[in-house]
Amino acid sequence: MHSIWFLPKPVDIKDLSGLDLPEPILCILFRRGITDIDKAKAFIDPLAPPDAFQHFTDLARACERLRTACLNKERVAICGDYDADGMTSSALLVKLLCDLGALAFPSIPSRGKEGYGLNKRMIEELSTSNTKLIITVDNGINASLEIEYAKSLGIELIITDHHHLSGNKPDVLAILHPHYTPTGSPYKYMAGVGMAFILGNYLIKYMESTNSDEIYTHLFCIGTIADMSPLLGANRYWIKKGLRSFNKTSNNGLKALQEISGISDSEVTSEDIGFKIAPRINSVGRLSEPSLIVDLFLEDDRNKATNLARKCNDFNNKRRIICDGIEEEAKALLASSPDNIQEFILLAQRHWHHGVIGIVASRLQQRFNKPTALLAIDNNSNFRASVRSPNWCDLNKILPQCDDLLLSWGGHSCAAGFTVKAEKILLLEERLNKIVSDLNYDEINYTNIVKPESYISLREIDFELFNSLNSLQPFGNGNPKPIFWTRCCSIDSQSIIKSSHLRLFLKQDDTVVEAIYWNYNSLLNQNQKIDIAFTIVINKWNGISRIQLEIISIRTHQECVKIKKNNRIYICSKKSPNEFCVQNSNGDKIMGNIDKNGYISSNSTIKKNVFINSLLSEASISLGLYY
């Protein structure tokens, strides 16, 4: 895989020096825009978000209507989605409303039979059962026809959603949506489960209830992380709070799910949720009926909860097998024209399982760094697509330009879906490629862009540093796990594990550290020196915890490093542990020296020259002499 590394720019961290954190961590904070101690403290220990009643104008109206429903024991349908965000939202509101007295129940469409969102069949069924109130979660904002049909049958609606609004604002009883919060609101980043969480939390306050079950916060954590919503603002506060108590839950369903995921005996992280819990929940929505997940979190019997969790695990194993098969087919289709992979990858097969094509689309998008759509046939003989895109290609701007070719579309900037008639697929492919080609984005030609945030030597990596790194948790969208880099490592030993991954023991000076390079199944040249970009994790095995590096990228080590500044190339070389040389294309040299406090001095006769100082700082970083 071809990689381009962009090393970090020099920073002055003196305004953060009062924090008791290692310099590499301080550099990461500064480079992420956290440039003073007050901001850093608020980031590490976030304050509770402001009163949501001031940010959601319809919240009081929604709470008043639900208070009436709870006191009168009304039937309330929770119409959710079949992904982890939608299923946790549904479970949260069903449990909470039932605890408060309402007769709440889930009404979630089948992914295979009906597709996404509120539909006419559901509304007719609810009307027949004398249900007069619907709450949508993680859907509904664009269901204008369905909303009007429900209203014509005398059904009231509360819409809670976070998806892009593609038409006019619906005329319903109440809407909770991040789009309708004030500028700068900490609630802007919330997923569908966040809207359900806000509604539930404030209903408890509105009714002056003593209900304080932490499962609501834990469901919020799962849905938000699984939906890859930015872990910023109110999301960061509640996820940080929820993770502290996650493994102490009293909910039988969540306990069983943690046990079968292998994380019940340790502190749970956002990565545990994203890579162990969420896939098991999502697999149910992809391959079975989403009501299983609601049942799991509502189950009071421990043995029954364990059986339901095992079903989730079985579906997850089945999902892996199906995904691997589709991925191999997709790669074979692309391999038939390897020199002509288009700017927008679009592949369609009638027999593919539409429940998992989004996962495979994501894998291909990451492999080729291009927007990717996989299509499978639906019950109406149309093709339904799951689309995944890199950050540089906003699907909410791309898909509207194809509106005349699509039956429907919706989603987020990097993950969306659409439905198209079979005879329009070729025209759609042609237009999508034209649109993306016209973007003329520089990074489009690179398979992998690597942006380390701080240099660190192997001897500095220990449990104390890892604990300091954890103060930046939770990691995820909007706050990614920091990528470090280091230079001049030799390969002490290496092996391929499970036929797919490269395990290395890397040596730098007198320090040896274990590293793993996932999905890289070739041995390296044992005699070469390498630079690596990596994240830092704790590997727990047989009760023993040890530091491990997870490699992001490897490049061959060069003693002399080229840097580009103002369209000129400079050659940088290290002369001693603290001394280095920078040479321009004319052969002119400047010697730099770094003192024990990290300050750079030089032999340049040009004093206080901003360009020279910047050049020396960048050179020191490129040579691994500064963080």
Is the domain of 208 the same as that of 93? yes
Please state which of the ranges 62-76, 194-208, 238-252, 429-443 shows the lowest mean pLDDT. Answer: 429-443
Q: Is residue 537 part of a domain?
A: yes
Q: What pLDDT is attached to residue 366?
A: 85
Q: How confident is the model at residue 2 (pLDDT cuts 50, 70, 90)?
A: low
CATH of the domain at 415: 3.10.310.30
pLDDT digits (tens, 9 = 90+) for 401-419: 999 999 988 888 888 999 9
Please state, in angstroms and rounded to a whole number, the distance separating the CA atoms of residues 374 and 383: 9
- Do 231 and 272 meet the contact criterion of CB atoms below 8 Å apart? no
pLDDT at 262: 87
**Domain around 90:** 52-315
528 shares a domain with 585:
no
Q: Which of 285-289, 300-304, 326-330, 437-441 has the lowest mean pLDDT?
A: 437-441
pLDDT tens digits for 487-499? Answer: 999 999 999 998 8
Cα distance between residue 74 and residue 192, in whole Å: 24
572 in the same domain as 464: no
**624: phi > 0 → left, psi -120 to 50 → alpha, else beta; which?**
left
Average pLDDT of the segment spanning 170-185? 94
The pLDDT score that the predictor gives to residue 59 is 97
The answer to the question of residue 20 being in a domain is yes
In-domain check, residue 382: yes
Parallel, antiparallel, or unpaired: how do β-strands 345-348 and 156-160 relate? Answer: unpaired
Which pair of structure tokens corresponds to residue 219? 């469901």
> Mean pLDDT across the stretch 18-39?
94
pLDDT of 539: 86
Residue 523 backbone dihedrals phi, psi, to 5 degrees = -75, 150
What's the confidence (pLDDT) of residue 513?
A: 96
Task: Look at residue 542 in the predicted model and tell me its pLDDT.
Answer: 74
Residue 303 banded pLDDT, cuts 50, 70, 90: very high
Determine the pLDDT at residue 445: 53
- What the block records as the tokens of 312 is 């989730």
Tokens of 18: 């009062």
Segment 224-233 mean pLDDT: 93
Out of 9-13, 110-114, 177-181, 342-346, pick the least confident: 110-114
In this prediction, residues 247-259 reach a mean pLDDT of 93
pLDDT for residue 607 is more than 60: no
Average of pLDDT values for 143-170? 91
pLDDT value for 340: 66
Q: Are strands 174-176 and 156-160 parallel, antiparallel or unpaired?
A: parallel
pLDDT at 1 over 60: no
Which of 444, 479, 494 corresponds to the end of one domain? 444
How many domains, the chain? Answer: 4
Residues 310 and 267 in one domain: yes
Both 181 and 298 in one domain: the answer is yes
419 and 549 share a domain? Answer: no
Q: Are residues 81 and 11 in the same domain?
A: no
How many C-beta neighbours within 10 Å does residue 163 have? Answer: 23
What is residue 441's predicted lDDT score, i.e. its pLDDT? 63
Same domain, 551 and 466: yes
Distance of CA 345 to the CA centre of its chain: 22
Give residue 342's pLDDT.
Answer: 87
Q: Residue 142 is encoded by which pair of tokens?
A: 């664009």
Report yes or no on 322 lying in a domain: no
Q: Longest C-alpha distance within the chain, in Å?
A: 88
Residues 151 and 273 in one domain: yes
In a domain, 60, yes or no: yes
Same domain, 550 and 571: no
pLDDT exceeds 90 at position 540? no
Provide long-range contacts, Cβ within 8 A and 24+ apart, for 566-572.
566/611, 570/615, 570/619, 572/619, 572/622, 572/623
Q: Looking at the structure, tell me whether residues 97 and 183 fall in a common domain.
A: yes
Average predicted confidence (pLDDT) for the chain: 90
Final residue before a domain boundary, out of 556, 584, 604: 556
Per residue in 309-365, pLDDT tens? 999 999 999 999 999 999 999 999 998 876 667 889 999 999 999 889 999 999 999
- Per the CB < 8 A criterion, the answer to whether 286 and 115 are in contact is no
Residues belonging to the chain: 627
pLDDT tens profile 262-293: 887 778 999 999 999 999 998 998 888 888 99
**Degrees to nearest 5, angle at CA 623 with 470 and 11:** 55
Residue 134 and residue 236 in one domain? yes
Q: For residue 295, give every residue at least 6 positions away whose Cβ sits within 8 Å of its Cβ, in sequence order, or none.
A: 308
Kindly list the distances between the CA atom of residue 137 and the CA atoms of 147, 313, 554, in Å, as whole numbers in the listed order. Answer: 14, 25, 43
The residue from 392, 413, 444 where one domain ends is: 444
- Does residue 329 sit within a domain? no
